[in-house]
Structure 1
């Protein structure tokens, strides 16, 4: 978060979101407030925080109220201790979860098993209601092969394995809708591009930042898109914001690939992930 303040504040001013879910803040709650409390208050935001120094950390910023704030996921394991990966609050009648799902690191590893157990605990929490719910955040899972630039490049890596996708499907089986994919069922849509090897400029990415909404909320979606422009420029995150408008769409339904990729898509089989080299 310390590095992203010069990007976050202008983005808030430009897009004027009512609710913002942040992941990987890497700050204690006190440090977050010291860094951003005044700036957020001046813009009309309250903040619900679940942070820890140096690692993880999530937040919800809201202009429309924060009620019944809960940090963590009941019943979730730690690694070995509980990590700051979830915060939930009710904002204008919608239960919103800001989530930073464990990465999993290597299939079959202890951290991978931790990821699956954490997701199972999250499912139990979401199954308990309420009816109007949104899960927002870095899920560290690409739902299908269509959500990565080349499935062959990800063989042997996390984010695409059958158990991870099954754990994600267990959430959507509760009646949650993947609102970006609902709106753009066949388009090339990514939210994350590795910093290395010019992945962003070649549009070699993944869609791992999701918004899952229950039927009463999904039925209100007026626009759903990826703010790819926020990934450009100086000092960006390696993730682009996902924007969902309920009831009204002040920016219009801009679309998931704005502006267009800086370079044409590479042919399948030509690209190796940077971490594989």
Structure 2
């Protein structure tokens, strides 16, 4: 089974790119982030025509998350991250697919640091930790997947010394990511490629993609009850080079089911 994540950076504006990639990659489950469209304007007909069903939580102009499946039943669990009823941003959606819990997230960016956006990011992470701890305690096969807006380690960023005061790389958020792993979650791509340079995002400026001056923001975390089924994975970095593509590339794994 192939499972992927892709920050699409505007689902309608980049729909031709998304459909081209879906046809090429044929993931069984795919999580999208940053839809940038209200609920009623999600392109469900085009997604259905491509062979996928979907659940999604849109938001006008910003954020938005979706989970797509190909030939698999999907049951929505919740479309918000518990812990703050006043948080109306569309950043989380959770579903049951093939007896697995799929948690698709678009974690807040947090910039500029310091400031209220960074504080919101830290509070959001605490809520995520609480939910993921529940999944571990329930001994469920689960995947936490999406754009984490966290650069875990120096090897995950081109010239890390330039990022020390960026909210993506601050000590606080990197520590929180390590705490997730300490609770039993497995960073699937890093475990598959422990020593390799792996990036998932390249800025549009300064020919970052051409120079491979990237960062790794998009992660697929597996619960302890799934890690033994991990077979392979990678980043479809060539998609970033397509015309009118997102600044992120799709990330995928294959598990034995």
Same fold (TM over 0.5): yes
Q: Which runs of 5+ in 1 are unaligned?
A: 249-277
Of 133, 144, 147 in structure 1, the residue corresponding to residue 153 of structure 2 is 144
Counterparts of 1:178-217 in structure 2, within 5 Å, are 178-217=187-226
Of 90, 112, 115 in structure 1, the residue corresponding to residue 118 of structure 2 is 112
Q: Secondary structure at the match of 1:47?
A: strand
Counterparts of 1:11-30 in structure 2, within 5 Å, are 11-30=21-40
Q: Which runs of 5+ in 2 are unaligned?
A: 1-10
User: Which residue of 1 is the match for residue 92 of structure 2?
Assistant: 86
Residue 77 of structure 1 deviates from its aligned partner by: 7.0
CA RMSD of aligned residues (A): 1.4
Of 233, 248, 252 in structure 2, the residue corresponding to residue 239 of structure 1 is 248
The question of whether the paired residues in 1 share the 8 Å contact of 2:55 and 2:76 is answered with no
Q: Which has the higher contact order (CA 8 A, sep 6+)?
A: 2
Of 76, 82, 88 in structure 2, the residue corresponding to residue 74 of structure 1 is 82
The question of whether the paired residues in 1 share the 8 Å contact of 2:34 and 2:62 is answered with yes
Is the radius of gyration larger for structure 1 or structure 2?
Answer: 1
Q: Secondary structure at the match of 1:193?
A: coil
Change (3 A) 1:68 1:37: closer
Distance in structure 2 (CA, Å) of the matches to 1:126 and 1:76: 16
Q: TM-score, normalised by structure 1?
A: 0.84
Q: Secondary structure at the match of 1:199?
A: helix
Q: How many residues align?
A: 243
Distance in structure 2 (CA, Å) of the matches to 1:77 and 1:239: 30
